[in-house]
Homo-oligomer: A and B are copies of this chain.
């Protein structure tokens, strides 16, 4: 992950982001809830290899869908009501890196801290700050959750693109689904009312 160090705003493992208020015990319980197993970890590693040279293409495909839906695109507009291309360009390499990190990083304290940071960067607490842009203060929670369906269901085609067996594609798809919902559970924390997360 050497190239990742050069991505602006990619603060994975850096002291400048705070420790997540979610404990490692909480994380363990969420991992159990999604039924994340050693088999899933192995399949995620395989998925990381399969997706390494496709991650940018995946992100391009997802962002094309976002850009085509006004109710999704507007959260990345500038105050004049136009797509903020600088903002979009700044976010993209982090989105690509997220695909790879989800597959390859151990789910430890550094990973947990960065997931909370990503969650906050979608809410008024931190949105627009990292890239110093002016835009709407939030990506609404309903769209974050709903778009996970696209992140999950479109992955299968990319996971099948390298000639793996159906069993392997099933295994990678299942592990990916669990990892995305684990991530979504963590990103949801700053959206939730006190005591309900």
- A81-89, A99-107, A173-181: which lies at the B interface? A173-181
Inter-chain contacts of A174 with B (CB < 8 A):
153, 156
Tell whether, in the assembled complex, residue B192 and residue A33 are in contact, meaning their CB atoms are under 8 Å apart. Answer: no
- Whole-angstrom distance between the alpha carbons of A35 and B170 in the complex? 21
Tell whether, in the assembled complex, residue A35 and residue B138 are in contact, meaning their CB atoms are under 8 Å apart. Answer: no
Partner of A181 from the list B29, B71, B145 (CB cut-off 8 Å) is B145
Q: Find the B residue at minimum CB distance from A145.
A: B185
Tell whether, in the assembled complex, residue A149 and residue B71 are in contact, meaning their CB atoms are under 8 Å apart. Answer: no
A166 to chain B, nearest CB (A): 7
Number of A residues, CB within 8 Å of B = 45
**Given A29-B71, A145-B181 in contact, is the A150-B188 Cβ separation under 8 Å?**
no
Tell whether, in the assembled complex, residue B177 and residue A152 are in contact, meaning their CB atoms are under 8 Å apart. Answer: yes
Q: A110 an interface residue at 8 Å Cβ cutoff?
A: no
A140 to chain B, nearest CB (A): 6
Partner of A145 from the list B145, B177, B193 (CB cut-off 8 Å) is B145
Tell whether, in the assembled complex, residue B143 and residue A33 are in contact, meaning their CB atoms are under 8 Å apart. Answer: yes
Tell whether, in the assembled complex, residue B191 and residue A193 are in contact, meaning their CB atoms are under 8 Å apart. Answer: yes
**Residue-by-residue, is A162-197 near B (CB-CB < 8 Å gives 1, otherwise 0)?**
000010001000100110011011101101110111
Q: State the A residues within 8 Å of B (CB).
A: 26, 29-30, 32-35, 65, 69, 71-72, 123-124, 138, 140-143, 145-150, 152-153, 156, 166, 170, 174, 177-178, 181-182, 184-186, 188-189, 191-193, 195-197
Pairs A–B under 8 Å by Cβ, sample size 5: A34-B149, A141-B188, A145-B181, A152-B152, A152-B177
The 4 A-B residue pairs with the shortest CB-CB distance in the complex, in nearest-first order: A33-B146, A34-B149, A149-B181, A145-B185
